[in-house]
Amino acid sequence: MKTHKKMLAICLVAGLAGCSNMSTTEQRTLSGAGIGAAGGALIGSLNNGHAAGGGALIGAAAGALGGWLYDKHEKSEGN
C-alpha cells in the first residue's frame, strides 16, 4: 500500500510540473477535463457503483470540450 501512495504522489507532482508552460487554451481544456472526470466519476459511482470509470471518461471528454469552448469565448470577448 505504501508503494501505491508513493507512485500516486510522484504522478501528481510530475503532472503538475508539466503544466507550467501551457497556453491558456491548454490550461482551460485540461482544467475542464479534470473537473469533468472528477464529476463524472462521482456521478457514475453514485448511480451504479461500477460505472465510475465510464462516467470519468464521459465527464473528461465533456469537460475538455467545455474548457476549450470557454477559452474560445473568452478570447472572442478580448479577455
**Entry pTM:** 0.68
The DSSP result for 16-44, as a single string, is HHTTTT--HHHHHHHHHHHHHHHHHHHHH
Query: Is 66 part of a structural domain of the chain?
Result: yes
pLDDT given for residue 68 in this prediction: 92
Task: Determine the average pLDDT of the residues in 22-28.
Answer: 86
The model's pLDDT over 61-73, given as tens digits with 9 standing for 90+, comes to: 999 999 999 999 9
The confidence band for 4, taking pLDDT boundaries of 50, 70 and 90, is low
Query: Is 27 part of a structural domain of the chain?
Result: yes
Rounded CA separation 31/37 (Å)? 10
Total domains in the chain come to 1
pLDDT at position 16 over 70 = no
Report the alpha-carbon angle 70-75-79, nearest 5. 100
The confidence band for 15, taking pLDDT boundaries of 50, 70 and 90, is low
Query: Is 14 part of a structural domain of the chain?
Result: no
Rounded CA separation 28/51 (Å)? 26
Query: Is 4 part of a structural domain of the chain?
Result: no
Helix axis angle, 52-77 to 24-48, nearest 10° = 150
Which residue range is the domain that position 60 belongs to? 23-77
